[in-house]
Structure 1
């Protein structure tokens, strides 16, 4: 009776105590084939902040890496010609205003003379026309002044989007032309951009999971977009990674892509014993006893969340793995 109880206890506790491992056969399993490529950290939107007028850059308030908000003033451009033009236009307005005052006086005098019968109605109509023409000229000149004032306001360079300053190609005191880039703004979130050889294009589907990091499991990613145009024999694709660092734009990150499936002879990782630089697995020999067999192993695999290793040579399908201490 005691022997039966002891045998039952060992059978139950044996796997936990490492006394014996269940027998299993080496088998072919379908595994995912991964392709290691490098991705670059890029901003989703890369928009330049441009100058709207030409002139001298008298101040620049951001540097590379500075965060900005949409509409924030990041630089100021000064054109001295605008001030001179404003003075010229204001002089024209003052001169026209004086002419208008004189024309209105002449019109009032003409109306008085018409009541006395000294002048003609035609002369009075000419005076009225002259007053209207001067008023219109003053209004047109004031509109021209508003245009110049708006040009002066546009000397402020504004950030087109919220994000981070990627590049500032100009310095204080630079002479810039209208439309010249003052700063490059990256925003809209950051992602990884991949260039994958075109032979793998058929396996790239939007939404598939991607492995990020040197060990392939640092962070999960998702293939967000595959671009239809092939450039230099490579397919361009974008990968979204939650919480990805944007400290260094254009930084290279190792990425593993699923590019197909194949069959491989796999065994559990704990069944491989490494001794003196060689890898062994214990199989059942022809006489039914355990035999150590040297094998050549491939890379680690995960099959149904179980750590496995691929056996490249030394085993065949159907070989029975036994505990090495049996």
Structure 2
């Protein structure tokens, strides 16, 4: 019986040892060099694609303003009204002129009819009829011109309504009711079109900034002291080819940024460089006496190696700890 028990014990020990070897092999991590994009947090300034002025079309006095800063307007909405008192006088003069021409037209029509009747009876010459017809046509044309002049005055009065040039949000209203303005003077500024973030970066990053690159948008209202907190993503839509004052300018398109203030600043994390680094899973590290160690599988067996650790990064969705020194590409790290 004892030899049988010994044989069974040996088999169990060999099986357990095999399981240990399998587990050890399964728990190994192969250190490989990984290329990581370095991100830098900078401030971006919210701007509008277009800022259009709503200008007065006539000179006069601002009688009313219907919007305030921050109001949403649609194209063609009345923003303010300008009144020119001279236009009312010109309209009354035009009405009086039209009334006088209507009277002259009635008189010319009567003279023409009378001349035609006398010509039919042989009591008037054809020249009299021609003269009456000419006078009738002259007055008719004068009346048409007077009506057209009145229409011009009425249209000018309608142009006292200052209309929104496009859909958007009112940024500023630099005038007040009662102000005297001239034609062409802006009454409001409307931010229309999509908002975007404008970046101003040191020229040393000019080579790394490319159109289409992804950027991270920080949480609104958070400064650098609070650390970068990702709230969304954007895309570099345009990189301007001219460097001004040692800085390169780039525009970032961001969805759902319409609630931001124009010229508001927010943190943006942008790709500025790429470098190769070595990394291991966080559980591979252990601290002893204030020194970081990892266990490396060698030909002679497991060996504890002191390493200098850096920050963390993402590799294919997995968190890794950067190893600055102590490991080489291809090392096998034993995981606990």
TM bin (shorter chain) = 0.7 to 0.9
Structure 2 counterpart of 1:185: 190
User: Are the structure 2 counterparts of residues 180 and 281 from structure 1 closer, same or farther at C-alpha, using a change threshold of 3 Å?
Assistant: farther
User: Does 1:317 pair with 2:322?
Assistant: no
- SS state at 1:112 partner: helix
TM-score w.r.t. length of structure 1: 0.81
User: Does 1:305 pair with 2:320?
Assistant: no
Contact kept, 8 Å, 1:43 with 1:187, in 2: the verdict is yes
User: Are the structure 2 counterparts of residues 245 and 156 from structure 1 closer, same or farther at C-alpha, using a change threshold of 3 Å?
Assistant: closer
1:90-109 correspondence to structure 2 within 5 Å: 90-109=95-114
Q: Deviations over 1:286-306 (max 9, x none)?
A: 996654636252x43212222
User: Are the structure 2 counterparts of residues 4 and 147 from structure 1 closer, same or farther at C-alpha, using a change threshold of 3 Å?
Assistant: farther
User: Are the structure 2 counterparts of residues 79 and 115 from structure 1 closer, same or farther at C-alpha, using a change threshold of 3 Å?
Assistant: same
Contact kept, 8 Å, 1:33 with 1:258, in 2: the verdict is yes
> Which segments of 5 or more consecutive residues in structure 2 lack a partner in the other structure?
1-8, 219-226
Structure 2 counterpart of 1:141: 146
**Among residues 55, 75, 80, which one is paired with 2:80 in the alignment?**
75
TM-score w.r.t. length of structure 2: 0.79
Structure 1 counterpart of 2:294: 282
- Distance in 2 (CA, whole Å) between partners of 1:72 and 1:52 is 15
Larger Rg: 2
**Superposed displacement of residue 269, structure 1:** 3.8
**Superposed displacement of residue 224, structure 1:** 2.5
Q: Deviations over 1:115-144 (max 9, x none)?
A: 444443223212211111111111111111
Contact kept, 8 Å, 1:25 with 1:317, in 2: the verdict is no
Structure 1 counterpart of 2:127: 122
Q: Deviations over 1:15-71 (max 9, x none)?
A: 9xxxx9945465532211323322122223322222222222111121111122222
User: Are the structure 2 counterparts of residues 133 and 272 from structure 1 closer, same or farther at C-alpha, using a change threshold of 3 Å?
Assistant: farther
- SS state at 1:218 partner: strand
User: Are the structure 2 counterparts of residues 65 and 5 from structure 1 closer, same or farther at C-alpha, using a change threshold of 3 Å?
Assistant: farther
- Distance in 1 (CA, whole Å) between partners of 2:135 and 2:287 is 107
**Superposed displacement of residue 229, structure 1:** 4.6
User: Does 1:244 pair with 2:252?
Assistant: no
- SS state at 1:125 partner: helix
1:19-168 correspondence to structure 2 within 5 Å: 22-24=27-29, 27-168=32-173
> Which segments of 5 or more consecutive residues in structure 1 lack a partner in the other structure?
none
- SS state at 1:259 partner: strand
- Distance in 2 (CA, whole Å) between partners of 1:73 and 1:279 is 72
User: Are the structure 2 counterparts of residues 274 and 260 from structure 1 closer, same or farther at C-alpha, using a change threshold of 3 Å?
Assistant: same
**Superposed displacement of residue 222, structure 1:** 1.8
User: Are the structure 2 counterparts of residues 155 and 5 from structure 1 closer, same or farther at C-alpha, using a change threshold of 3 Å?
Assistant: farther
Instruction: Note the aligned Cα RMSD (angstroms).
Output: 3.3
- SS state at 1:203 partner: coil
**Superposed displacement of residue 199, structure 1:** 4.1
- SS state at 2:68 partner: coil
Contact kept, 8 Å, 1:42 with 1:250, in 2: the verdict is yes
Contact kept, 8 Å, 1:93 with 1:142, in 2: the verdict is yes
